[in-house]
Structure 1
Amino acid sequence: MSVRFWDPDGTTYGIPTYPWRLAPDGLATRRQLRARGLSPGRQGIAAQTLRPRRRREPLTAYLYRVDLARPVRPMTPGMWRAHAAMMRARRRCPECGQDAGYVIPTSLGTCVTCAYPEEQRAA
């Protein structure tokens, strides 16, 4: 156990802090809440958990109270349509206008065929 991150009163870090994987019951991260079908709602951060790293600052995961969490709102048909339109736009190449069949990499900005046309001719 890393005693360095044990601060349940919040005197050192400003909010209650626990070592990685040693948070008390009743607190959960956003992902843990989502796995239970919950979201933090409008509650603030209740605590944090820190994981040490060798050469950089520690990894931080914010914790929320499970008893104050709210159920996740279900997707409406309009939200599903908007999501589908957003995903279609991410697959469309801005240069050739074709549906690439995959999400266009932001590092290229275009589909692979348009980004590397000379390699496509050689193949």
Structure 2
Amino acid sequence: MSRIRAAYYDPEGSRYGIPTFWWRGAPACYATRRQLRDRGLRPAGQPVAAQILWRGVGGTRVAYLYRLDLARPKRTATARQRAAIDRALLARRTCPICRRVRPYYIRRSLGECLDCNEGR
């Protein structure tokens, strides 16, 4: 075990407060948020169970780990929620000046589509 890995290896949590592992050194019973999402799971309110530490750009980097046995399936939006989201996204593409639906989201700093902004 190299010195860098040994500095970040604390499976009991006595040094860092929670179990700590080096890069790619965590047991299979832990997963990051992104790994949970790829499996169709979510942390479901559980606290951080462990962490991974490694040396990266700008200093020591950290990735928090959650227990797989406490993770729950991801929630899906209902049909009414999806419809509300679709209406909200349509409103972001509709110009309040010319009332045209644009293929892009209208910038909030402009408050109008690019064509209406160019006309001024």
Same fold? TM cut 0.5: yes
1:31 lines up with 2:34 in the alignment? yes
Question: Cα 1:91–1:52, aligned 2, differ >3 Å: closer, same or farther?
Answer: farther
* d(CA) in 2 for partners of 1:72, 1:97: 37
TM-score between the two structures when normalised by the length of structure 2: 0.74
Unaligned runs of 5+ in 2: none
Q: Once the two structures are superposed, what CA deviation does each residue of 1:61-85 show, in whole Å capped at 9, x if it has no partner?
A: 2111001111112221122112212
Question: Structure 2: how far apart are the matches of 1:19 and 1:58?
Answer: 11
Within the candidate set 51, 59, 62, 2:61 is matched to: 59
**CA distance in structure 1 between the partners assigned to 2:51 and 2:99 by the alignment:** 46
The 1-side partners of 2:56 and 2:49 are apart by 23
Q: Give how far 1:117 is off.
A: 2.9
Q: Gaps (5+ residues) in structure 1?
A: 119-123
How big is the shift at 1:48? Answer: 1.1
Aligned length: 116
Q: C-alpha distance in 2, partners of 1:22/1:111?
A: 51
Q: Is the 8 A contact 1:20 1:49 kept in 2?
A: yes
- 1:71-110 matched pairs, under 5 angstroms: 71-93=73-95, 98-104=100-106, 109-110=110-111
Q: Residues 65, 102 of structure 1: CA spacing in aligned structure 2 closer, same or farther, 3 A cutoff? A: same
Q: CA deviation at 1:86?
A: 3.0
Q: What corresponds to 1:121 in structure 2? A: none
- CA separation in 2, counterparts of 1:29 and 1:48? 9
Does the 8 Å contact 1:7/1:16 carry over to 2?
yes
Question: Which amino acid in 1 is paired with 2:55?
Answer: P
- Alpha-carbon spacing, 1:26–1:95, altered in 2? closer, same or farther (3 Å): farther
Relative distance call for 1:114 and 1:72 in structure 2 (3 A) is same
User: C-alpha root-mean-square deviation of aligned residues, in Å?
Assistant: 2.7
CA-to-aligned-CA distance 1:39-95 (integer Å, 9 cap, x gap):
1112111011123124x2323221110011111122211221122123223334566
**Percent identity between the aligned chains?**
42
Question: Which letter maps to 1:113?
Answer: L
Aligned-partner SS, 2:63: strand
TM-score (norm 1): 0.73
